[in-house]
């Protein structure tokens, strides 16, 4: 796990200038790679590559980056891991390749030499984002893993192509200027994160999961587009058309075997390895499979909270005791949790308002004291339909779908008017608003977009903003007969998973130099999960049915049968109490008006209603607060506010 950055600037050919600039960019990523640093330049082409290293595999000098291929043609900087590098190494050795060290980076280079970039990357199993410079072809390729586990930003600024693991690396280049994209800001308020491929800055993008972008000296904006080497839509369509046809027991065996293999590969490292453990289905499954394949107790980590309704430590402790792990449990005070908040804008680099970012950082901090790599259970809800909202929204849609859209949309404004007439906090107001939205929806995906959002009319909040487009399953997925639940899960798989869940885990862990691995998101597991019929995921009211069957082979059912808990903190009460002054300063009418990004009236109204206790607007307010705090950080970093220059 590392941090990568660099640029392609055809106007600069002075090697000292190239090195100085890329080192400046690289130093912003020191937290991602505290063990080593490196840079490489091709002055003739204006290319500079920078790397910060968190040593995981081959801790010797032979694992340093940037790394050149044996012939010297290719140079690579890699963030992440190619887990199946051992099998690939043996195959490449049979084809005549020799290796100096035992890092996965060296295997990646040999694979590219042997098979070419496109064919090679399709054979990689792992989480990665890397940049590859072809010295002969004078091409720079950016590559991101299939699921989008590792981040990679890019864009053109003043004729210079910039890229990096985090936005802070791009900001360190003198060509960078930060123009806030108000369309992205609207989308952020809708989702609580900025959906890819956009970033909060106009002209800077996230490389889509499973894609390759190739640029050359002289390539400008709009002249190169990412090309998919792996497509979630294609895998979903293929899985729906060719579903798993075995028995229940065969399905359990197959999932067990695939997860065992994924976990085994991700336990390989030359540094201490552990796991996050919440006591829920996903993390318990990962830890159970780790312990089943380990000759000594696995290191596990969990945190507890004093507030009722937020504490999962007891569940984690019970699972750890049953499996015999070496368990570390730490209770966090409210004050300790709140102390993280000032760090969030710097950690996440762009507005990000999933408040579970706070406990994720805290458990990462505990784990980093004992290990350098920690496995996580993220991805289980999206793959095996663990969210109750899927079934809830499916039932809601079925209640109105019998009626033609025209009559429904004719009635919706009347219901919305009735909802507006109900005073805030009065029971039934929210229900009327929900019914109005449901009647106006034209498809299940529209229902999901409207109900699974925060500020539903974001364009009315952002000055000069626009309403973001709803993400809909492509025609191929719909033609394959996707159910409503499957359509919603697909939308999450291409938006919420890479842009929220994985961002949250990556930034929180890497801020501390901790590598977080996600074995449930091995692309082979993902592909198998989409072949599973709906009845193997949801059965008799139980979500994640098949994953539960695997876990029951290792942990008694009653130990993990409990209501689903969000990994959160009580933001609602904090905003009325210890965070009130901080929030008031960020939400003051004068400030909102002077900055010019938000319409103050609806925000002030929600703030007043929240403080009165009549309504809980914590999610809406947290969205605005995280943007405002980020904007403050932007001024601190650059000496000026990011504006629409």
Q: Are 199 and 181 in contact (CB under 8 A)?
A: yes
Q: Are 269 and 104 in contact (CB under 8 A)?
A: no
**Distance of CA 124 to CAs 216, 258, 265, 460, 522, Å?**
25, 16, 12, 45, 11
Q: Given CA atoms 615, 592, 188, 376 in this order, what sign does their dihedral have? A: negative
Edge-to-edge strand order for the sheet containing 227-228?
A: 67-68, 74-82, 126-134, 139-144, 211-215, 227-228
Angle between helix axes 600-612 and 618-638 (nearest 10 degrees) is 120
The residues that bridge with 130 in the sheet, in sequence order, are 78, 143
Q: Given 2, 160, 192, 485, which residue is catalytic?
A: 2
Nearest 5°: the CA angle 91, 95, 100 is: 80
Q: Are 310 and 355 in contact (CB under 8 A)?
A: no
Between the CA atoms of 316, 319, 322 and 324, what dihedral angle is there, to the nearest 10 degrees? -60
3 state DSSP class of 120: helix
* 2 included as an active-site residue: yes
Read off the tokens for 180: 């806030």
User: What is the secondary structure of 137-200 as a DSSP string?
Assistant: TTEEEEEE-SS--S--EEEEETTEEEEESSHHHHHTSTT---BB-HHHHHHHHHHSS--TTB-S
**Cα distance between the two ends of the chain:** 36
Q: Are 644 and 179 in contact (CB under 8 A)?
A: yes
Q: Which of 583, 552, 628 is nearest to 252 (CA)?
A: 552
User: What is the secondary structure of 443-511 as a DSSP string?
Assistant: SHHHHHHHHT-SSTTGGGTBTT--PPPPP---HHHHHTT--HHHHHHHHHHHTHIIIIIHHHHHHHHHT
Between the CA atoms of 370, 107, 498 and 194, what dihedral angle is there, to the nearest 10 degrees? 100
Calpha distance 543→564 (Å, rounded): 10
Q: Are 147 and 494 in contact (CB under 8 A)?
A: no
- Which residues are tagged catalytic? 2
């Amino acid at each position: 796990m590392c941090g990568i950055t660099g640029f392609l600037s055809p106007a600069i050919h002075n090697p000292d200038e190239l090195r100085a600039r890329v080192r400046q960019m690289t130093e912003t990523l020191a937290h991602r790679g505290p063990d080593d640093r490196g840079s490489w330049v091709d002055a003739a082409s204006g290319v500079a590559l920078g790397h910060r290293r968190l040593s995981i595999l081959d801790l010797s000098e032979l694992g340093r980056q940037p790394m050149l291929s044996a012939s010297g043609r290719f140079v690579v900087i890699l963030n992440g891991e190619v887990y199946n590098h051992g099998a690939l190494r043996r195959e490449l050795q049979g084809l005549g390749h020799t290796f100096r060290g035992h890092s996965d980076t060296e295997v990646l280079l040999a694979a590219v030499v042997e098979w070419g970039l496109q064919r090679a990357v399709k054979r990689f199993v792992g989480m990665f984002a890397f940049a590859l410079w072809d010295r002969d072809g004078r091409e720079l390729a950016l590559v991101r893993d299939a699921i989008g586990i590792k981040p990679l930003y890019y864009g053109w600024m003043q004729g210079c192509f910039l890229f990096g693991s985090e936005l802070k690396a791009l900001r360190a280049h003198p060509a960078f200027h930060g123009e806030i994209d108000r369309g992205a800001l609207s989308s952020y308020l809708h989702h609580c994160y900025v959906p890819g491929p956009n970033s909060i800055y106009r002209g800077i993008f996230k490389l889509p999961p499973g894609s390759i972008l190739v640029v050359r000296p002289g390539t400008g904006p709009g002249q190169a587009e990412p090309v998919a080497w792996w497509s979630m839509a294609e895998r979903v369509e293929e899985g729906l058309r060719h579903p798993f046809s075995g028995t229940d027991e065969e399905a359990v065996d197959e999932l067990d075997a695939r997860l065992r293999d994924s976990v085994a590969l991700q336990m390989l490292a030359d540094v201490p390895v552990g796991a996050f453990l919440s006591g829920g289905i996903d993390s318990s499954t990962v830890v159970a499979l780790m312990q089943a394949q380990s000759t000594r107790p696995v290191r596990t980590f969990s945190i507890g909270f004093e507030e009722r309704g937020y504490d999962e430590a007891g569940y984690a402790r019970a699972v750890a005791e049953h499996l015999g792990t070496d368990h570390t449990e730490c209770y966090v005070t409210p004050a300790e949790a709140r102390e993280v908040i000032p760090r969030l804008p710097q950690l996440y680099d762009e507005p990000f308002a999933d408040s579970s970012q706070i406990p994720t950082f805290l458990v990462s901090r505990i784990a980093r004291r004992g290990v350098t790599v920690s496995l996580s259970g993220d991805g289980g809800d999206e793959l095996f339909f663990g969210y109750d909202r899927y079934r809830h929204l499916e039932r809601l849609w079925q209640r109105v779908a019998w009626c033609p859209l025209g009559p429904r949309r004719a009635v919706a404004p009347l219901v919305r008017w009735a909802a507006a007439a109900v005073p805030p906090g009065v029971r039934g107001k929210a229900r009327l608003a929900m019914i109005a939205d449901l009647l106006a929806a034209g498809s299940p995906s529209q229902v999901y977009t409207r109900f699974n959002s925060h500020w539903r009319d974001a364009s009315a909040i952002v000055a000069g903003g626009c309403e973001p487009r709803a993400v809909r399953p492509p025609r191929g997925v719909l033609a394959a007969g996707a159910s409503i639940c499957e359509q919603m899960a697909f939308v999450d798989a291409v938006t919420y998973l890479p842009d929220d869940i994985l961002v949250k885990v990556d930034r929180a862990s890497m801020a501390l130099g901790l590598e977080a691995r996600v074995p449930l998101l091995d692309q082979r597991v993902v592909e198998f999960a989409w072949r599973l019929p709906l009845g193997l995921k949801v059965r008799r009211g139980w979500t994640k049915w098949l994953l539960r069957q695997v876990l029951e082979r290792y942990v008694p059912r009653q130990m993990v049968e409990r209501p689903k808990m969000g990994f959160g903190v009580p933001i609602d009460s904090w905003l009325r109490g210890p965070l009130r002054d901080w929030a008031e300063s960020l939400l003051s009418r004068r400030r909102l008006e002077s900055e010019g990004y938000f319409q103050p009236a609806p925000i002030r109204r929600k703030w007043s209603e929240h403080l009165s206790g009549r309504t809980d607007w914590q999610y809406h307010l947290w969205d605005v607060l995280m943007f405002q705090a980020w904007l403050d950080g932007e001024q601190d970093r650059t000496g000026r506010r990011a504006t629409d220059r």
